[in-house]
Amino acid sequence: MKDRFWICLGMLAAVVCAAACDDDDNDDSGDASEDVGFKPADSGTGDAGGSDGSAGSDGSAGSDGTVDGGGTVDGGNSGKSCQDHTDCGDLRQNGCYAGTCKPHPCDATSNTRYFEFDPGERFGFEDGIYVVGDFSRPGAQSWPNCDAVTDADRMHQKKTSDGKTVYYALRQLPAGEYSYKYLLCYPGFNIDAPMGENGIDWCSPQDADSNVDDGYGNMKGVITITGCSL
């Protein structure tokens, strides 16, 4: 069979993040615009969040295992019916698009990044967990804080093979370099309160390509996105 597979050069595999978190509300956070929190599911479930769990990734891959704008499919999941990304096996490669498991969207100028965060003992206490960075508001001077995040920033629950609950997000991003953190917003958060009392944690990612100083004495993750080619 003639080789029809595209090689997804920018698919960046992530590892479970046991991140260090700080309560500094100055970490590149922006001004208030809207309050969009969500309540996580009980610890006995692992499928909280939207049915697609992604931010603007429509998908266009075929169902025969060929990569029509995405990465290689694992374990024969391509073409499988699905209701959620978590139905599609390895989320570093596959996702649920239009009710079918397909490779993530990818082209010459963009790629899909998988983010994963393990809140550890914080699980169940947070009002929302978000992945926030340079990609959140292109051209903005700062990142959104808890009162300005949207569904596009939100992470969703899933169960790992050993039964642990973690949070994940899929973001289709233009090629380039980005910095980011995980943002935990607790019920009753107040961005105007002193740090340590504001109900906000900024967590340094462990699934980044590298980590650099964020300018406030903590670390932020850095990733590089590249597109796909034949």
Cα gap 209→168, rounded to integer Å:
17
- The answer to whether the CB of 170 falls within 8 A of the CB of 112 is yes
Query: What one-letter code names the amino acid at 56?
Result: G
User: Distance from CA of residue 223 to its chain's centroid?
Assistant: 12
Q: Which of 3-12, 34-43, 85-94, 122-131 has the lowest mean pLDDT?
A: 34-43
- d(C-alpha 155, C-alpha 166), whole Å: 9
Q: What is the pLDDT of residues 8-27, one digit of tens each?
A: 333 333 333 345 676 544 44
Assess whether pLDDT exceeds 70 at residue 141.
Answer: yes
User: What would the pLDDT profile of 160-180 be if each residue is shown by its tens digit?
Assistant: 888 888 999 999 999 999 999
Q: What are phi and psi of 153, to 5 degrees?
A: -90, -15
Residues 6+ apart with CB under 8 A from 207: 14, 15, 16, 17, 115, 116, 117, 221
Q: Categorize the per-residue pLDDT at 52 as very low, low, confident or very high, splitting at 50, 70 and 90.
A: very low
One-letter amino acid for residue 1 of the chain: M
Superfamily classification of domain 20-225: Immunoglobulins (2.60.40.10)
Residue-wise pLDDT for 83-116, tens only, equals: 999 999 889 989 999 999 999 999 999 999 999 9
CA-to-CA dists, residue 201 to 24, 83, 109, 127, 146, angstroms: 7, 31, 33, 11, 10
**How is 179-195 classified by DSSP, letter by letter?**
EEEEEEE-TT--TTSPT
